[in-house]
A = this chain, B = another copy of it.
Amino acid sequence: MNSFGRLFRTQLFGESHGPYIGLVIDGCPPGIPLSEDDFLADLGRRKAGARGTTPRKEDDLPQIISGCYKAYTCGTPLTILFANKNVRPGDYAHLASIPRPGHADLVAQQRFGGFNDPRGGGHFSGRLTLALVAGGVVAKKILSGIDISAKLIQAGGQKDIDLAVEQALSDGDSIGGVVECRANNIPAGWGEPFFDSAESVISHLAFSVPAIKGIEFGSGFQAAAMKGSEHNDPIINKKGETASNNSGGITGGLTNSNELVFRVAVKPTSSIAKKQKSLNMETGKMANLTIKGRHDACIALRVPVVIEAITAIALADFKLLSEAFGGATVKT
Contacts and interface: CB of A to CB of B under 8 A. Distances in A.
Interface residues of A, number: 156
A240 interface: yes
A192 to B, nearest CB: 6
A6 B5 CA distance: 11
14 contacts: A2-B26, A15-B74, A22-B79, A74-B112, A76-B123, A103-B251, A106-B235, A110-B254, A176-B231, A213-B219, A231-B267, A234-B279, A237-B279, A238-B284
Contacts of A284: 237-238
A30 B189 CA distance: 13
Given A1-B26, A3-B3, A69-B117, 20 more contacts: A1-B195, A13-B24, A15-B69, A18-B69, A69-B122, A74-B115, A75-B111, A99-B235, A102-B247, A104-B193, A111-B189, A112-B328, A113-B330, A176-B223, A178-B221, A213-B218, A213-B219, A213-B224, A215-B216, A231-B270
A74 B115 CA distance: 5
A293 interface: no
B238 A272 contact: no
Contact of A13 (B79, B115, B217): B79
A84 to B, nearest CB: 10
Interface string A161-178: 000000010010111111
B77 A11 contact: yes
Contacts of A221: 178, 213-214, 216, 221, 265
Contact of A279 (B67, B123, B235, B324): B235
Interface string A260-286: 000001111111101011110100101
A208 interface: yes
A66 interface: yes
A30 to B, nearest CB: 4
Interface stretch (A41-49, A143-151, A196-204): A196-204
B9 A107 contact: no
Nearest to A117: B69
Contact of A278 (B191, B192, B226, B234): B234
Interface in A68-84: 69, 72-79, 81
A108 B172 CA distance: 52
Interface string A49-63: 000000000000001
A109 interface: yes
